[in-house]
Amino acid sequence: MTTLSKFYTPRQVASFLGISQLTIYKWIDDGKLKAYKVNQRWMIEQKDVENLVYGKGATRQ
């Protein structure tokens, strides 16, 4: 059985973490947080937020 991943916008992730959107975009630019560009919007997968929070960091592909 395949499960669908949950995706969030940078605004949502910033709200969850209590930080600014600018910080989220900086982390994306620095490669600290993995994100995908979908129809001109950045989307961040839930597992990548969890990896950041729990210290695993982003893995570039």
Instruction: Quick: pLDDT tens for 3-52.
Output: 778 999 999 999 999 999 999 999 999 999 999 999 999 999 999 999 98
Burial letters for 6-45: b for 16+ Cβ neighbours within 10 Å, e otherwise?
A: ebbebeebbeeeeeeeeebeebbeeeebbbeeeeeebbbe
pLDDT of 55 strictly over 90: no
